[in-house]
Amino acid sequence: MNATDSFSADYREARAKFRAAAARAGGVLDRANHPERGPDGGDLSTDVAWFGPRDAERVLVMIGATHGVEGFCGSGAQIDWLNRGEAARLPRGFGALLIHAINPYGFAWLRRVTHENVDLNRNWIDFSKPPPENADYEALRIALCPAEWTDTSLAASAAVLQAFAARAGKPALQRAISAGQYRDRDGIFYGGDAATWSRRTQTAIFETYLGRAAHVAILDFHTGLGPRGYGERIVTAMPGSDAYRRAADWYGAAITCPFDATSTSAPIVGDGLGAAAGVLPRAQVTGVALEFGTVPLEETLYAVRADAWLHARGDPASESGRALKARVRAAFYDDRDDWKGMVAGQSLLATREAIAGLSRA
Ligand SMILES: [Zn+2]
């Protein structure tokens, strides 16, 4: 078999491939139907495959499409894991939970965000309390999300953003943009004002399948940051915490962390890995985001901003809209075989390290 066969050209192909591969591998399939439709008019769902005894104490969890369009990567990694027969190699008593397209709307529509325009990885905050402030985003909001998407408006925006970077530094600019914000609902990296469909669905899946687990290893697949094809292992647990120490023990010296400036990711709030322990209070949760590089950061940010404009003010179905969509897809999915091979290989290694770690936990 060839790793490139595990990847798909769109959401619908990915879902069908996932279901078929999971069934072949002996998984028990489940699904949660999404309220919206895809651009082709078809239905959307988060699909789940379970392997091993239902009361497994040690469980490997793989999550794809937290950031919608990044789901090409996670889907490919999951299907490759299935096609390689890894489920049959699980140690006795272990479980594996594969969550395909936790944000199926974003995957199908080629968006990072959910249908609520929410960044799911900023949505896991406690909405009974005042949301975090992001004053720098507020100050840059009009430059980041201009009313018109023209050469003139983009040049004006670039001048504002460059001035900020010159004054505060590039990491501060990245942080202002991507840390998360809770005011600008048509904007970018918006964390929402309530739990999204995807958060509620992931919570329900966790409670259903992991409520009895004592040790849970989560691999959450992402793309768009870092060197092309390299799978950065990002730990969002605080350095010095038990969860961080376990991740360092399991995944080695290559782990990075947004909170000690070792990661290509800025410090963020409301991420799903950070919230998982709260959803599963009886389990010891060890989470890592696998972040595969695609294009330079400037291009990724351009794609995120263009997509927000397109859905808030433009027409995704127009000719220029489709051209922008192609650019968004290319920013988060490198459709070349060597990239797919790098994703599959590093993902397989990470799943085996997770299982070895679970065995020692
Ligand atoms: Zn991501």
Q: What is the pLDDT along the chain (361 residues), one digit of tens a residue?
A: 789 999 999 999 999 999 999 999 999 999 999 999 999 999 999 999 999 999 999 999 999 999 999 999 999 999 999 999 999 999 999 999 999 999 999 999 999 999 999 999 999 999 999 999 999 999 999 999 999 999 999 999 999 999 999 999 999 999 999 999 999 999 999 999 999 999 999 999 999 999 999 999 999 999 999 999 999 999 999 999 999 999 999 999 889 999 999 999 999 999 999 999 999 999 999 999 999 999 999 999 999 999 999 999 999 999 999 999 999 999 999 999 999 999 999 999 999 999 999 999 9
Cα(239) to ligand 1 centroid in Å equals: 21
pTM of the entire structure?
0.97
Cα(92) to ligand 1 centroid in Å equals: 33
Residue 157 lies in a domain: no
Cα(65) to ligand 1 centroid in Å equals: 8
Cα(294) to ligand 1 centroid in Å equals: 12
Residue 191 lies in a domain: no
How many Å separate Cα 311 from the centre of its chain? 20
CATH number at residue 267: 3.40.630.10
Cα(179) to ligand 1 centroid in Å equals: 12
Residue 122 tokens read as 């900023």
Residue 166 lies in a domain: no
Cα(222) to ligand 1 centroid in Å equals: 4
Cα(84) to ligand 1 centroid in Å equals: 25
Burial tier of 70 (Cβ tally within 10 Å: 0-12, 13-18, 19+): buried
Q: How many domains does the chain have?
A: 1
The parent domain of residue 220 ranges over: 3-127+196-299+327-360
Q: In angstroms, rounded to a whole number, what is the distance separating the alpha carbons of residues 242 and 232?
A: 20
Q: In angstroms, rounded to a whole number, what is the distance separating the alpha carbons of residues 79 and 74?
A: 9
Residue 46 lies in a domain: yes
Cα(113) to ligand 1 centroid in Å equals: 10
Q: State the DSSP H helix or E strand holding residue 34, giving kind and residue range, or none if neither.
A: strand 28-37
Helices 242-251, 337-360: inter-axial angle, 10-degree rounding: 120
CA distances to 124, 186, 279 from 200, rounded to whole Å, are 10, 21, 11
Residue 78 lies in a domain: yes
Cα(361) to ligand 1 centroid in Å equals: 28
Residue 173 lies in a domain: no
Residue 183 lies in a domain: no
Residue 308 lies in a domain: no
Amino acid present at 72: F
Amino acid present at 138: E
Residue 37 tokens read as 């439709």
Distant-in-sequence, close-in-space partners of 133: CB < 8 Å, separation ≥ 6: none
Cα(53) to ligand 1 centroid in Å equals: 31
